[in-house]
Chains A and B, each alone.
Chain A
Amino acid sequence: MLNKIYDWVDERLDITPIWRDIADHEVPEHVNPAHHFSAFVYCFGGLTFFITVIQILSGMFLTMYYVPDVVNAWKSVYYLQNEVAFGEIVRGMHHWGASLVIVMMFLHTLRVFFTGSYKKPRELNWMVGVGIFGVMMGLGFTGYLLPWDMKALFATKVGIEIAASVPFIGGMIKVLLAGDTTILGAQTLTRFFAIHVFFLPAVLFGLLAAHFIMIRRQGISGPL
């Protein structure tokens, strides 16, 4: 049945080369854990992406209940976690996944560093990776405020003060993030929400695409 649908579409649009291009690629022996178990260190990049997908999905579902407003944010989070079926699990996925992305990304960075995979000709991909690291940190920072509890509020106060300590433009960065010169409130929350769900994910998609295109173009780096 599915084969027939596939054949019907393929006959008209010739889609086989498209996915072949994406799915068929060489996996050298030295990165295959079936050959050398220690090669599992090569999985961390894929695991980072896998958890990122979970973050995107669970985040999309969370916005069905969440409101970025100082009066209702905490209440809506409380409601979705305690009154909605599986709310604890979906929010838990997003909460724990956020930490796990950072851990996996760090392990992936260590692997790339210690296998020397960043060396010529892969310097550009390392730079894009550093960009992804920055975006992930930004996502973590902006997402932390959204539940609008005491911990989130004071963590963000500290974070914004750190941003304000940048020489010369620190004050402007602070107002840009908080939306007000003194108050950390309604405008901060809506800004952080917009950055968290629209701006940073958009940047992330672009950087991830560049990261993956480059690795397919250059192949996996050779054995130690």
Chain B
Amino acid sequence: MSKNRVSRRQFLSYTLTGVGGFMAAGMLMPMVRFAIDPVLQSHGGGDFVQTELKVTDITEEPVKVDFSFEQVDAWYKSDVTSVAWVYKSGDQIIALSPVCTHLGCMVDWGADSAHPDQFFCPCHAGRYEKNGKNIAGTPPTRPLDEYDIQEKDGYLMIGPTKANTLS
């Protein structure tokens, strides 16, 4: 016998807590895993979406390009329309995401009459240069995201976003 004898009461309380804990865990584990599933689900990289913009029509001036795709939202499938700001820099085609990096509003090109050559966010007056670089002293903390792009049969294709590579 060791000095620290486990009393009958202690033994019972340990075994009951253990068995009870095991049962509670067996019950709760599936439910918690079920609840946190959206956090752990892997998302496939997006496909490229055809736009109606001819590559030859793209100029140095940013234009707003709508593109639609089928979005699968769990059990709900729908056609959604996203927007890209597209322009040509030299012979490189740039497509910027319109989503402000401050709090997610939609930016507009040249909407602020004081800064016609910048992207402007109406929510908190965030501004970006043409290449998407955020202007110091305005709310955004990083540049506008950039879309991957492709060309197919002379038309522009827009893919998933990535961090801005221009600024």
**Number of chain B residues close to chain A: CB under 8 A:** 12
Interface size class of A (residues with CB under 8 A): 20 to 34
A58 vs chain B, min Cβ distance (A) = 6
Q: Is B35 an interface residue (CB 8 A)?
A: yes
B residues near A, CB below 8 A?
27-28, 30-31, 33-35, 37, 40, 74-76
On whether the beta carbons of B37 and A85 are closer than 8 Å, the reply is: yes
Asked if A61 CB lies within 8 Å of chain B CBs, one says: yes
B35 touches A64 (CB 8 A): yes
Given contacts A65-B74, A78-B75, contact A87 B27 (CB under 8 A): no
Chain A contact residues, majority secondary structure: helix
Q: Enumerate 8 A-B pairs (CB-CB under 8 Å) in ascending A order.
A: A57-B27, A61-B35, A76-B74, A79-B74, A85-B34, A86-B30, A87-B37, A93-B31
Q: Which residues of A contact B30 (CB under 8 A)?
A: 86, 89-90, 93
Of the residues B27, B28, B37, B76, contact of A84 by C-beta under 8 Å: B37
Q: Whose C-beta in chain A lies nearest to the C-beta of B27?
A: A54
Contact B27 A75 (CB under 8 A): no
Q: Do the beta carbons of A76 and B33 come within 8 Å of each other?
A: no
> Nearest-CB distance from B146 to chain A (Å)?
32
**Is there an interface contact between B75 and A86, defined as CB atoms closer than 8 Å?**
no
User: Does A38 sit at the interface, judged by CB under 8 A?
Assistant: no
A79, B34: Cβ atoms under 8 Å? no
Residue of B nearest to A71 (CB): B76
Please give, as numbers and ranges, the residues of chain B lying within 8 Å of A57 by CB-CB distance: 27-28, 31
Query: Which residues 34-48 of A sit at the B interface, judged by CB distance below 8 A?
Result: none
